[in-house]
Amino acid sequence: MSAVPVIAALPLNAPGFWRRAARHHSFVLGAVLTLLLVFTALLSFVWTPFSPYDVDMAAKMMPPDARHWLGTDAYGRDIVSLLLVGARASIAVGLIAVGIGLVIGTAFGLLAAAERGWVEEAIMRLADFGFAFPAILSAIMLTAVFGGGMVNAIIAIGIYNIPTFARITRASANAVWSREFILAARACGKGKLAITMEHVLPNILSVLIVQATIRFAIAILAEAALSYLGLGTQPPQPSWGRMLSEAQTLLFQSPMLAVYPGVAIALAVLGLNLLGDGLSDLFDPRLTRKR
Amino acid sequence: MSLFLFKRLITLVATLIGASVVVFLVLEVLPGNAAQMLMGPDASPEAVHALAVKLGIDLPPLQRYGNWIAGLLTGDLGLSYAYSTPVADLVFERLSLTIPLALMAMTITTIVALAAGVFAAARHNKLGDVGVMGISQIGIAIPNFWFAILLILLFSVHLRWFSAGGFPGWDDGIFEGVKSLMLPAISLAVVQAAILTRITRSAVLEVSREDFVRTARAKGVSRRGTLWGHVLRNAMIPVITVMGLQFAELLAGTIVIENVFYLPGLGRLIFQSISNRDLIVVRNCVMLLAAMVVVVNFVVDLLYAVIDPRVKPSDI
């Protein structure tokens, strides 16, 4: 939303960067929560207390105990196991959907900034037009035609991300194109493609990384909403959104079933948002100079 | 008419036409034989053809598109396959819930965000500011449909102040209608209020550091006078831009929230129509929502120009 993007090359090797990062509360908390999310998803590949696919009606809706730390759901499935495996769906959808938006949107943004004129105008008008279809609306159109599923959810959220990345890339790249070192590169005879790849892209990477982190969080929320509606991840694959949908029918009997998946989603999104805020501060050269 | 307005109107119309082409291609051309899809694979070819003729989908795509657009402009949206009633009647009936719901959510968002944002900015880096920022960070991370479920748990299951879902209609009185939309509106508003609070706070802080604010204070204008007379007006520029985008998000969000509370609005109609494979209803509802999003953004652009004199070209 920032009107004037702050452009700087990735300062990961800059002296004192990691020391400043370690002192930045948002960054540290965000990184810890995000690593926890990734660790949870990875752990589920090698270990879960029980199989999240095994239905055991004799053990349905058990309260928390030593065997089932958070109890069981209406089908007797272990909640901890469902939460662990559910993290996979969130990460998979987030990674691929943001990847689609990042690759295609950035390419269009770079093209717009390099060519200017009618190409830029056309791409930006297309991006404006993309905003007419929020993720849920795109997903509904795809689902109406092809049916629900994780792939359609990924495509819908990915398409939704493209205009955002195109706009941010173009704004940031335009700022880089107006710099003196670009003029020098042009004077040396470098073409637009070479300048874009060697000078523009490395200088807008920090902006893109921050944006990717934030869009990842939004993708997790969108996936959860679509799965809640039954349009996203399909059974028997566990997903946090569908766990909430199933829990809603049991609100009177077992209200806590509706609490755990929501807390998992909120922590994952909070972690990514804090990480994005932290990175945004750490990559901002104006804040670096102030310190 | 100013050149600015004219250019924006052209963009608006072009965007609406583009959106209609996408909706038509995805929901009308991509599925192939929609009549076959509606009747299932076991239907006889004669029955499929009869339905295709009834729905007007036996015509060439370009003609169907032209008919659809003509229908949209005259209010004739065709006949719902599942409900056997005109789509326009269905949509109009459902909008009487969805529009008030989105407006209630936007009102709650605006009141909470402006109050909390200005409160936090006035206490920059103090406890109040840190508290508001912490709460807003959590608010942004909460899925609105989960917050809706938590509200049902608290206010419907435990306290029994509100019903857990459903809508009695406006015939039972405005109070009953508003009451049944209160929890859904709060659920929709929470995330948007959290985002707008942060935008308001940073906008107020940024404008407070401007030279003209210092000049106003130096001339003896009170803190309150400076805030209301100078800071807020200028701080509203980014706030209104975000509000426009948020209203679009709220409209899309009604699809999920109406399903949480079993509200018979446009969002639930879309959802039910997908289950019924009633593509004609899905197509018109998606187009309507997309059009509302585009028009809201257009209005925001105009407001932006009214509030910020720098945006206005010389002829506005």
Alpha-helix residue ranges (DSSP H) falling in chain B: 3-24, 34-39, 45-55, 61-74, 87-122, 127-141, 144-151, 174-208, 211-218, 223-226, 232-260, 266-275, 279-307
Write the pLDDT tens digit of every residue in B194-221: 999 999 999 999 888 888 888 988 998 8
Of B141, B149, B286, the CB nearest to A137: B286
CB contact (8 A) between residue A265 and residue B31: no
Which of A160, A167, A169 is closest to A101 using CA atoms?
A: A160
Which of A177, A168, A170, A171 is closest to A209 using CA atoms?
A: A168
Residue B315 has pLDDT above 50, yes or no: no
- Return the HEC string of A111-139: HHHHHCHHHHHHHHHHHHHHCCCCHHHHH
Q: Chain B partners of A231 at a C-beta cutoff of 8 Å? A: 274
B195 CA to chain A: closest CA distance, Å?
Answer: 11
Which of B16, B301, B238 is closest to A4 using CA atoms?
A: B238
In the block, tokens 């960054």 appear at A27
Q: Which amino acid is at B187?
A: S
- Identify the band that residue A3 occupies on the pLDDT scale cut at 50, 70 and 90: very low
What average pLDDT score do residues B122-141 get? Answer: 93
Helix or strand run (H / E) with residue A21: helix A17-23
- Distance of alpha carbon A220 from alpha carbon A218, whole angstroms: 5
- Identify the band that residue A170 occupies on the pLDDT scale cut at 50, 70 and 90: very high
Of A143, A144, A244, the CB nearest to B146: A244
Residue B312 has pLDDT above 70, yes or no: no
What average pLDDT score do residues A12-16 get? Answer: 75
Q: What percent of chain B has pLDDT over 90?
A: 40
Residue B61 has pLDDT above 70, yes or no: yes
- Distance of alpha carbon A225 from alpha carbon A237, whole angstroms: 16
Give the bridge partners for A224, in sequence order: none
Residue B311 has pLDDT above 60, yes or no: no
Residue B316 has pLDDT above 50, yes or no: no
Looking at residue B314, its pLDDT comes to: 44
The predicted complex's ipTM stands at 0.86
Q: Chain B partners of A144 at a C-beta cutoff of 8 Å? A: 27, 273-274, 277, 279, 282
In the block, tokens 């029918």 appear at A249
- Identify the band that residue B26 occupies on the pLDDT scale cut at 50, 70 and 90: confident
Looking at residue A286, its pLDDT comes to: 61
Of A142, A229, A261, the CB nearest to B256: A229
Write the pLDDT tens digit of every residue in A46-90: 999 999 998 888 888 888 998 889 999 989 999 999 999 999 999
Which of A94, A95, A90, A65 is closest to A80 using CA atoms?
A: A65
**Token digits for B119?**
């409160």
B74 CA to chain A: closest CA distance, Å?
Answer: 22
Give the nearest chain B residue to A142 (CA atoms).
B26
Residue A4 has pLDDT above 90, yes or no: no
Cα B276 to its chain centre, rounded Å, is: 24
Residue B44 has pLDDT above 90, yes or no: no
Longest dimension (CA), chain B: 84
In the block, tokens 């949908």 appear at A245
Give the nearest chain A residue to B295 (CA atoms).
A132
Q: Chain B partners of A247 at a C-beta cutoff of 8 Å? A: 149
Write the pLDDT tens digit of every residue in A83-107: 999 999 999 999 999 999 999 999 9
- Distance of alpha carbon B11 from alpha carbon B202, whole angstroms: 31
Of B27, B141, B245, the CB nearest to A141: B27
Residue A6 has pLDDT above 60, yes or no: no
A24 close to A282: Cβ distance less than 8 angstroms: yes
| Cα Rg of chain A, angstroms | 22
Q: Chain A partners of B27 at a C-beta cutoff of 8 Å? A: 141, 144-145
Looking at residue A287, its pLDDT comes to: 57
Of B256, B270, B293, the CB nearest to A132: B293
CB contact (8 A) between residue B14 and residue A1: no
- Identify the band that residue A7 occupies on the pLDDT scale cut at 50, 70 and 90: low
